Amino acid sequence: MLEIMLRQKPELSPEQIRDMIDEKKRKVGAGYLTDQGALFLVAADLGVSFDSIPKIQSGLKDIYVGAKEVTVTGRIMNIYPVHTFTKRESNEQAATRTIVVYDRDARVKVKLWDKQVAVPDEMGLQAGDIIKIIKGYVRAGLDGKPVINLGSYGAIETVRDDPAIPSIDSLNSAIDAVSGLQESAVITGTINTNPRVSEFVNARGEASKSLQLQVSNDAGTRTLRAVIWNVDESRLPKVFKTGAKVRMIGVRIKQGNPQYGNGDFEIHGDEGTILQFSDSQEDVEVMPLRVVSIGEETGRGSFLCLAADRAGGVLVLTVDISLVSSDQLNAGAMIECVPSRIFGNSVVLSKDDSYIRTTDDDASFPKLAKFEKKIKDIQVSQDPCIIEAIVLQAPETANVNTKTGETVPVTSTLLGDDTGEIRLVGWRNQSAGVNKLNVGDRVRLAGVTASAGREGKAELTLRAYSSVTTLD
């Protein structure tokens, strides 16, 4: 290639071309170009043609923006779902799909168009397979990095395993090994808090969901926040519990935001991230439970309640009101249900694939008395409890700025029984539940938890699944 360039540009010396290569690599950015890739760009600037050179197969590190008829081999890390959109110029519906492949030197996105969109499903491709991308063309992605595009004239072929390309297992890192920013990482850890699915609006203005969980090392001495954006709930197992192992394939390691965690690194994935859980299951069995408290409505056609299993473990239920209304359940009642999903101790009962009904009392289940406590016995704990007390002070409400910059209402009052006094606090929506109390009211609080409050003393916190009943 150098010889061809010198023949076509005799006014240049090899040293000058070398300087141009180095300059091109500096401008494009370290890690994106080999000397050969930079030479292609220099030749394009000078109008030099390499058409007489036979096509060669390049590695992923050698591709560059503007390259045509690219043929590369890589191992699949992620396969994204199909994305449909409307073409601006014709208002026609179109579809595209992304595959992430890697070799020992680099990783790159491959964007599929036209008939290629269905190829991963037709070929049964999955993470870990080695494929050859044939006759792709390279364009810049939104981040400026090269993206291989594959249209009607291109093809995908499977390739026999190549030991020169690292396996996905060999890329696996434990939580303790996370030490810097990283793309396309494979991380394994232990789920140490209840996973939850939250709703949000994505960058395309579409309603979407995220899976949020905390993942720790085996000893539990280091915990990282993990968020999987645009998660498809149908790809999650119906049951995975706290303490289960999870492997996240194709995630980014980002610097954490102290407003949302401990400031350590965070793990971020998206709809292409593969989640593999240990001790997960797809079939959900009938669950008998005793209702502890009936909480508030979520505003999304469901309500929350707290229930206990036969061993006394507590579960937070999100129940669709089409199955049963909150007025039809009572604290202490026995129920039988088939959940849609179980995340840790969070149980979801949706209208499509769940049922719930009240049953006869079962003496083998703990009574509500198991959770009842006197104020003197309350200690800081996330375990819910039930107390009966008298309201001693008029509730006071203040607006508090959280560490995320949000302003929320907080209402507190003082409760007492024959063993002592304790403060009751309600944040956000639970503020109203405390604010409605009057001095002298005798109340029964079910499903409240105790946290460290003023001067380190324990104080009760009203939760979304808590209930407040005024006694006669």
Q: Output the CA angle 211-326-350, nearest 5 degrees.
A: 35
Residues across the chain: 472
Indicate if 379 and 467 belong to the same structural domain.
yes
Any domain includes 206: yes
**CA pair distance 70, 57, nearest whole angstrom:** 8
Tokens coding 96: 């595209």
Q: Which of 101, 132, 167 is the last residue of a domain?
A: 167
CA 329/CA 173 separation, integer angstroms: 47
Give the CA distances from residue 252 to residues 63, 181, 255, 256, 272, in Å, rounded to whole numbers and listed in that order. 22, 7, 10, 12, 12
Task: For the chain, count helices (H), then strands (E).
Answer: 5, 30
User: Residues 216, 313: one domain?
Assistant: no
Rg over alpha carbons for the chain, rounded to the nearest Å, is 29
Q: Are residues 77 and 144 in the same domain?
A: yes
Q: Are residues 341 and 432 in the same domain?
A: no
Max alpha carbon distance in the chain (Å)? 102
Q: Are residues 18 and 42 located together in one domain of the fold?
A: yes
Is 364 domain-assigned? Answer: no
Answer yes or no: is 59 within a domain: no
How buried is 64 (Cβ within 10 angstroms: 0-12 exposed, 13-18 middle, 19+ buried)? buried
Can you say how many angstroms the Cα of residue 442 is from the centroid of all Cα atoms in its chain? 43
CATH assignment at residue 335:
2.40.50.140
Q: Of 293, 319, 297, 318, whose CA–CA distance to 306 is shortest?
A: 293
Q: 171: closest CA among 114, 116, 100?
A: 100
34 within domain boundaries: yes
Q: Which of 323, 318, 279, 282 is nearest to 297 (CA)?
A: 318
CA distance 239 to 344: 8
Q: How many domains does one find in the chain? A: 5
Does residue 116 sit in the same domain as residue 178? no
Separation CA 231–CA 268 (nearest Å): 11
Residues 378, 466 within the same domain: yes
88 belongs to a structural domain = yes
Evaluate whether residue 405 is within a structural domain: yes
Shared-domain flag, residues 379 and 448 = yes
**How far is 271 from 99, CA to CA, in rounded Å?**
12
Residues 160 and 179 reside in one and the same domain: no
Same domain, 89 and 109: yes
**Pairwise CA distance, residues 127 & 74, whole Å:** 11
Say if 432 falls within a structural domain.
Answer: yes
* Full residue range of the structural domain in which residue 177 is found: 171-277
* φ/ψ (deg, to 5) at 18: -60, -40
H or E element in which residue 451 lies = strand 442-452
Q: Are the CB atoms for 163 and 208 separated by under 8 Å? A: no
Q: Are residues 138 and 185 in the same domain?
A: no
Those residues whose C-beta lies under 8 Å from the C-beta of residue 50, and which sit 6 or more positions away, are 1, 4, 40, 43
Q: Does some domain include residue 365?
A: no
Last residue of a domain, one of 148, 167, 186: 167
Encode the chain (472 residues) as per-residue pLDDT tens digits. Answer: 788 888 888 898 989 988 988 888 888 765 667 777 788 888 888 888 766 554 555 689 888 888 888 999 999 999 999 988 887 777 788 899 999 999 998 999 999 998 999 999 999 999 999 999 999 999 988 888 899 999 989 999 999 888 889 999 999 999 999 999 998 999 999 998 878 888 788 777 778 889 999 999 999 899 999 999 998 887 888 887 788 899 999 999 999 877 666 788 999 999 999 998 886 666 778 899 999 999 988 888 999 999 999 999 899 999 999 999 988 999 999 999 999 888 878 899 988 889 899 999 999 999 999 999 999 999 998 889 999 999 999 999 999 887 667 788 999 999 999 999 999 999 988 999 999 999 999 999 999 999 988 777 899 999 999 999 998 7
End position of a domain, from candidates 121, 150, 167? 167
Indicate left, alpha or beta for 282 from its phi (over 0: left) and psi (-120 to 50: alpha). alpha
